[in-house]
Structure 1
Amino acid sequence: MRVVIQRVSEASVTIEGRITADIQKGLLILVGVEGADTNEDINWLCAKIAKLRIFGDDNGVMNLSVTEADGDIIVVSQFTLHAATKKGNRPSYIKAAKPDVAIPLYEDFVKTLQQETGKVIQTGEFGADMKVALVNDGPVTILIDSKNKE
């Protein structure tokens, strides 16, 4: 499972002209599910994200987690995070999980992150054509792959 975590001063998701998620300060998390992912990947990532100290404290030092900084969270599914680009110019998505595997894992990711942070997690819609708007604060962007824990 791969996530791209962006610290934002605002972010939103729009589907068919309707805003489905909207936050101010917090995290926009893009999640790519791989066929080999399990609940172990979800638990490890959510624990890591909940404790990730990427918000500034009173001295401007990145010492606070999203909960300590009273930030909000949007999670958006994005299978293109598993694009293989080694050969040719057309990305291959062979490692990305099929919807019957990806949807339950994505939903479990959202539930687990909610439990870890105590936050209501806003989301996009799995498989929808989404317009994601954000103002990256910093910029701070972090990529984490659960297959690279060591």
Structure 2
Amino acid sequence: MRAVIQRVSKASVTIAGKTVAKIDEGLLVLLGIEHADTEEDIAWLSKKINNLRIFNDENGVMNQSLIDINGQAIVVSQFTLHANTKKGNRPSYIKAAKPDVAIPLYTTFVKQFEAHLGKPIQTGEFGADMKVALLNDGPVTIIIDTKNKE
């Protein structure tokens, strides 16, 4: 499982001209799921993201988590995070999980993320053509791959 985490002042997801998710201060999480991902990856990653200390404290030091600031979050499925660009110029997405595997893992991730955060989060729509808008705060962008957790 691979995630691109962006600290945002605001973010939104629009599908076919309709805004389906919108937040202020918090995190925009782009989530890529591959065939080899497990429930263990979900548990580890959802806890890790919620506890990342990437928000400023009263001294301007990145020392607070999403939980600490009572922030909001949007999680968007993005299979292109598993693009392989080693050969040629057309990326291969062979490692990205097919929908029958990815959708249940994505749904479970969202539920566990909410459980760690202690409140509902917003999402895009799996497989939809989404327009994602954000104002990256910092900028702060972090990439986490569960295959590199040790």
TM range (shorter): over 0.9
* Alignment gaps of 5+ in structure 1: none
- 1:83-122 alpha-carbon deviations (Å, 9 max, x no partner): 0000000000000000000000000000000001112110
In the TM superposition, 1:33-112 aligns within 5 A as: 33-112=33-112
What TM-score results when the alignment is normalised by the length of structure 2? Answer: 0.99
Distance of 1:85 and 1:96 partners within structure 2: 13
Distance of 2:70 and 2:9 partners within structure 1: 12
Q: Residue 99 of structure 2 aligns to which amino acid in structure 1?
A: P
Q: Residue 56 of structure 1 aligns to which amino acid in structure 2?
A: N
Runs of 4+, deviation exceeding 2 Å = none
SS at match of 1:40: helix
Distance of 2:68 and 2:49 partners within structure 1: 12
Distance of 2:26 and 2:98 partners within structure 1: 29
Residue 13 (structure 2) aligns with = 13
Residue 130 (structure 1) aligns with = 130
CA deviation after TM superposition for structure 1 residue 69, in Å: 1.1
SS at match of 1:116: helix
SS at match of 1:68: helix
SS at match of 1:67: helix
Distance of 2:119 and 2:56 partners within structure 1: 19
Percent identity between the aligned chains?
72
Residue 121 (structure 1) aligns with = 121
What TM-score results when the alignment is normalised by the length of structure 1? Answer: 0.99
Distance of 1:119 and 1:82 partners within structure 2: 29
* Alignment gaps of 5+ in structure 2: none
Distance of 1:68 and 1:18 partners within structure 2: 31
Distance of 2:119 and 2:130 partners within structure 1: 23
Distance of 1:49 and 1:134 partners within structure 2: 18
Q: Residue 72 of structure 1 aligns to which amino acid in structure 2?
A: Q
Give the length in aligned residue pairs: 150
1:6–1:142: 8 Å Cα contact kept in structure 2? Answer: yes
- 1:127-148 alpha-carbon deviations (Å, 9 max, x no partner): 0000000000000000000000
Distance of 1:40 and 1:129 partners within structure 2: 29
CA RMSD in angstroms comes to 0.5
SS at match of 2:12: strand
Q: Which has the higher helix share?
A: 2
Residue 29 (structure 1) aligns with = 29
